[in-house]
Amino acid sequence: MRFFIGTVLILVLVTPARTLGGGFNKVLQFPREVSLSNFVLLRPDFTQIQEELSICSWVKIYRTDHVRYWFSYNIAGSEGDNQIIFGTAANGQHFLADAMPGSTEPYATNIWHHTCFTWSSASQLEELYLNGVKIAEELTPDNSKVPTGGTLVLGQEQDSPGGNFDINQSFGGEIYRLEILKRKISAGEVADMYHAGMCDYPAPSTDVVLDWADFLEAEKSGEVKEVSAGCSRWDVLENFVGQEITDSVIAFLKRNF
């Protein structure tokens, strides 16, 4: 019994509290030198988002030599293209295997964008936002549903579940705070998220089906790595690793941070 209590105590102490914002300041980086090996793969349960969803993220794009895909959700045996893909140009988004009309302009490189896609089967309306502003919308067919049982890949465009990637569609860039909600959030909520900025990190709402911590915990392949989002003042301490904490180091930190 004593052993059991001790084990429970240890588990409580080492299990990070999700409500404290797991994943804060952790960016997933996909190298600029693209490779078919660089991706993150999940097999999520999308039962709760079959008829309504929002998918929002901060994304930084390193290259625009092709339309490249940072998000793809593919169903085995489904007809046509991927069910959901988000790419590096406004016309690079597909939902329910249907291309969303939009500008052919690629997004600017090396700066953070906030992107949000919202939809509900009841309204039939799918809407795409970039930096808090709606840039595209389209109506989906009656009684549409997102199929469950698919494979979600970050960093590659799948032509079959979890595979058949194309080097000209491989993503080089960064993703931060991707989350999937079971509710079609409003234009005002999207704008609020954008204006709060990428370093704002509220605890996940009850609408969240997959939060950023879930993506960070997923299997990473190739050279995908976690880097700092630059959202923590403590990042500066990495510059002092191995050094003695002297009065001058403390004075420097106080002056600058």
Interaction between residue 159 and Ca ion (CB under 5 A): yes
By beta-carbon proximity to Ca ion, the closer residue of 51 and 166 is 166
Q: How far is the CB of 152 from Ca ion (least distance, A)?
A: 15
Q: Does residue number 207 form part of the binding site for Ca ion (CB under 5 A)?
A: no
CB of 141 to Ca ion, least distance (A): 24
Nearer to Ca ion, 66 or 134 (CB): 66
Q: How far is the CB of 157 from Ca ion (least distance, A)?
A: 4
Cβ-based burial of 64 (10 A; exposed 0-12, middle 13-18, buried ≥19) = middle
Which residue of 52, 126, 157, 179 would you call a contact of Ca ion, by CB under 5 A? 157
Q: Could you please report the per-residue DSSP string of 50-66?
A: SSEEEEEEEEEES--SS
What is the smallest separation between the CB atom of 97 and Ca ion, expressed in angstroms?
A: 13
Residue among 120, 117, 89 at smallest CA distance from 193 = 117
> Segment near Ca ion (CB under 5 A), from 15-23, 121-129, 158-166, 200-208?
158-166
Q: Is 155 in the site for Ca ion (CB under 5 A)?
A: no
Nearer to Ca ion, 126 or 157 (CB): 157
**Measuring CA to CA, which residue among 180, 227, 226, 175 is closest to residue 204?**
180
Name the residue nearer to Ca ion (CB basis): 132 or 222: 222
Q: Write out the two tokens for 11.
A: 């588990």
Which residues have C-beta within 8 Å of that of residue 84, sequence separation ≥ 6? 55, 71, 72, 73, 94, 95, 96, 146
Cα separations (Å) of 119 from 21, 28, 49, 186, 214? 26, 26, 10, 10, 22
- Taking residues 164 to 203 in sequence order and writing x for each that binds Ca ion by CB under 5 A, - otherwise, the string is --x-------------------------------------
Task: Please tell me the count of residues contacting Ca ion according to CB under 5 A.
Answer: 3
* Alpha carbons 213 and 24: distance in angstroms, whole number: 8
Rule CB under 5 A: which residues touch Ca ion? Answer: 157, 159, 166
